Amino acid sequence: MKRILLAASLAAMAVQPQILAQAAPAASSPAAQRDFPIVIKPGLPAVVTVSNGDTQQARVRVGDGPLQPLATFDDDTVDQVQAVDIDHDGYRDLILGQSGGSTQLFARLFLYQPDSRGYQEIAHPDSASPCKGFVNPVIDDKQAVIHVACRYGAASNGFEDYVLRADGTVRATAWGTQALFGLESEAAELTYRFRDDGAIDRIDIDGEGSPLEGGTVPVSRLDLYDTPDVNATPTMTAAEGEHLDVVALRPRDWLQVRYVSKTAGQVLKWARYGDLRVDKHRLAPPAPTDKLTLELADTLADWNGEDGGQFILSVANHGDAPVALNAPRVWLLLTNAQGDRIVHPLYPREGDTLHPANPLGLARDPVVWAAGEDGKPAYLLNDNGYSSVPFLPALAPGKYRAAAVLTDPGNLGAPIVSNDVRFDYPLPQRPPAPQ
């Protein structure tokens, strides 16, 4: 389908002369302003005037009518003025743009109103959208549809699709962006699908980092919760192969899902991300015959000893041949006094080769009570000096058992589970050691 591309970097090859005013001041314009002549329709000319300075005032004169205000712009220079029929009513509307970094065009859109011989701005509907504005807008040449696309980094981009309503407002039909879930090396691609009333219909999650690709439950039994609270008791379960529609996200831990229960019908529930990656209901303690074993040191209950307040984990190979770990991930499997299991992501580890009779240390990291990224104090694990990650979720006070779980996507046939250690929560609030 033919579209009119409005990105500044592509203007030269995408613009047709009859719909683009030259983004340069006319020779006769005073230094304090720039004039851009446009044609609204044959026989109906107009001039867009943009004042210079830190704050730019855009105004328009239609025919021989009065000068009317359009909008005020700050910061970057308004350097793109285009006359395009956005709503396909036979009158060309206005797009005023400011060229930003990475060939981005930050634009504002205005509909021409024949009755008033003036313009009405099309308000961007949601500052929480991926692009947060009409960035690089593309106007569909067949219908009143606006496409938006933005890029803020090598792995950070987004798109937004809107339909124009008769009253001059827009309704989202789709958004695209990325989200990085815990312990993933690649961000998942998110596509938000909207209903006619503007509500989210579903969020499609695709790509290598997807925890629920295609909406299919990947584990034997998935616990579903009424609230996104790690201490809540599951109120329902979905079975392997059943379908869920994601309707909201709280990366990196929770997904709100729409589930059709055989007994309760359609319900909204919450699923924990870790439960989609590690099948906690099938995890078994290590057996003496296991080729690979994982050992978790029992230091959580002893914070006064030499190793108190440290997370110490190693893996051993009891076979005859080396075993390659390509992309190992370390998780905690927590069990409360009621027997509920909680999977908590810790951190990835670099690949290595595990030789027989030569255990590989996966972690020897201090656990401290310190301010996290949100400024709130929490138990943090120093990830080998690179960063700090939450060691435990916000558990309810009580007695717990903890085991470490080692996964290696695409390499290990099944997760490796360590021995159990016991601890009381909360742990002592040991601050970081002085530098």
The whole-number pLDDT of residue 87 equals 97
**pLDDT confidence of 11, banded at 50, 70, 90?**
very low
Among 335, 326, 331, which residue's Cα sits nearest to residue 313? 331
- Give dist(CA 11, CA 138) in Å, integer: 12
Region 347-375 average pLDDT: 90
Instruction: Please write the tens of the pLDDT for every residue from 14-64.
Output: 333 333 444 444 444 455 899 999 999 999 999 999 998 888 999 999 999
Provide the whole-model pTM. Answer: 0.85
Judge whether residue 288 has pLDDT over 90: no
Instruction: Please write the tens of the pLDDT for every residue from 98-135.
Output: 997 667 999 999 999 999 999 999 999 998 999 999 99
The whole-number pLDDT of residue 122 equals 98
Compute the mean pLDDT over every residue in the chain, rounded to the nearest whole number: 88
DSSP 55: E
Q: What are phi and psi of 187, to 5 degrees?
A: -75, 145
E strand residue ranges, 86-235: 93-99, 105-113, 118-122, 134-135, 138-140, 145-153, 156-164, 170-179, 188-194, 200-206, 221-224
DSSP states of 369-434: EEE-TTS-EEEEEE-TTS-EEESS--PPSEEEEEEEEEE-TTT-SS-EE---EEEEESPP-PPPPP
**286: which 2 tokens?**
């290590």
**Helix H or strand E encompassing 363:** strand 360-371
- Give dist(CA 337, CA 425) in Å, integer: 11
Judge whether residue 305 has pLDDT over 70: no
Q: Greatest CA separation found in the chain? A: 92
Judge whether residue 372 has pLDDT over 90: no
User: Hey, where are the domains in the chain?
Assistant: 3-146, 180-277, 292-425
The whole-number pLDDT of residue 210 equals 87
- Give dist(CA 421, CA 297) in Å, integer: 8
Region 207-217 average pLDDT: 87
The whole-number pLDDT of residue 32 equals 81
**Helix H or strand E encompassing 362:** strand 360-371
The whole-number pLDDT of residue 1 equals 33
Percent of the chain at pLDDT > 90 equals: 68
Residues β-bridged to residue 316: 293
- Give dist(CA 38, CA 85) in Å, integer: 12
Handedness of CA 289, 295, 297, 300 (dihedral sign): negative
Judge whether 349 and 361 are in contact, CB under 8 Å.
no
Judge whether residue 272 has pLDDT over 50: yes
The set of residues, in sequence order, having a beta carbon less than 8 Å from that of 35 and lying 6+ positions away, is 25, 26, 29, 47, 48, 49
Q: Taking the C-alpha atoms of 299, 302, 306 and 308 in order, what is their torsion angle to the nearest 10 degrees?
A: 60
Region 2-15 average pLDDT: 34
- Give dist(CA 95, CA 299) in Å, integer: 64
Whether the bond between 426 and the residue before it is cis, its omega within 30 degrees of 0, is yes
Instruction: Please write the tens of the pLDDT for every residue from 156-186.
Output: 899 999 999 999 999 999 999 999 888 888 8
Q: Say which CATH class 292-425 falls into.
A: mainly beta
- Give dist(CA 354, CA 316) in Å, integer: 7
**pLDDT confidence of 6, banded at 50, 70, 90?**
very low
The whole-number pLDDT of residue 101 equals 66
Among 318, 330, 219, which residue's Cα sits nearest to residue 271? 219
The whole-number pLDDT of residue 278 equals 94
Percent helix, strand and coil across the chain, each to the nearest 5: 5, 50, 45
Judge whether residue 3 has pLDDT over 70: no
Region 304-309 average pLDDT: 65
**pLDDT confidence of 255, banded at 50, 70, 90?**
very high
Length, in residues, of the chain = 435
At the topology level of CATH, where does 3-146 sit?
A: Lipocalin (2.40.128)
Region 332-337 average pLDDT: 96
**122: which 2 tokens?**
């099309």
Judge whether 104 and 24 are in contact, CB under 8 Å.
no
Region 380-393 average pLDDT: 83
